[in-house]
Structure 1
């Protein structure tokens, strides 16, 4: 996979720049090529709080640049792709039970969410998404979410 262009979101409240290691076309192409048995669907926890929904997805061993998170209307799609790192290049694995080469989750959100202001962070193998509630449903809203 080639590294995408440097991305600095306009009017970002976060300092620094973001260099995604994959782009949307590459991820969707890989997911469509990958056999359905090889795509990992990681476990998801969804918690409703007074003013937001918190979604936690367990995907260990990733880097924040390896995620593509998109929201289109009330559907949240999370892709995670990285090349197989094996055992850090040392020797041949004799047993390999976990593989997070290609992960995909699609979550249908309730209509009362504001997908424009979703925030995401990745710490200790857990991707956390914070989705604020909205008073009104807005159609045709699409957002790319940066993982911090």
Structure 2
């Protein structure tokens, strides 16, 4: 199992788990980026629209991503002779690290990629000004 020391253990346990359940064998690929201020989850979603996704934080505080591609009548009449990309239904639950500000999570679709921004909680830096007495 591959682990990155800069990712919190909870992220490591989730993102590098070989037993991670997926809706099907052609589940979209996920990237996770980390910066000083946020985590970003990128999910490959070519041909999908923002309306195809439902994203929420469940009662346990985990992030749930659901995707369902609805076929139009024109697509239902057509028949594929070869089909290598097909995400008709997908669901993934991500166990979030404790430092994610769950009230400020946002998502957007751009260029076939769903980006979910997970801002980190602001760390209050306590500065103590005091006189040091020389003894």
TM superposition score category, shorter chain reference: 0.5 to 0.7
Aligned match of 1:48: 34
Aligned partners of 1:100 and 1:121: how far apart in 2?
18
| TM value normalised by structure 2 | 0.64
CA RMSD of aligned residues (A): 2.5
C-alpha separation between the residues in 2 aligned to 1:118 and 1:76? 10
Q: How far apart are residue 59 of structure 1 and its match? A: 1.5
Instruction: Determine which of 89, 93, 103 is the counterpart of 1:106.
Output: 93
Which of 101, 104, 108 is equivalent to 1:117? 104
Question: Based on CA coordinates, which of the two structures has the bigger radius of gyration?
Answer: 2
- Tell me if structure 1 keeps the 8 A contact 2:99–2:121: yes
Shift of 1:48: 1.1
1:76 is aligned to 2:76 = no
Deviation track 1:102-139 (CA, whole Å, cap 9, x = no partner) reads 01121111111111111110011100011111158xxx
Matches of 1:120 and 1:129 in 2, distance apart? 4
Contact 1:120-1:130 at 8 Å conserved across structures: yes
Of residues 58, 62, 69, the one that matches 2:44 is: 58
TM (normalized to structure 1)? 0.59
Structure 2: where are the runs of 5+ without partners?
A: 1-21, 124-135
Q: Which runs of 5+ in 1 are unaligned?
A: 1-35, 137-148
How many residue pairs get aligned? The number is 101
**1:86 and 1:41 mapped to 2: Cα distance?**
24
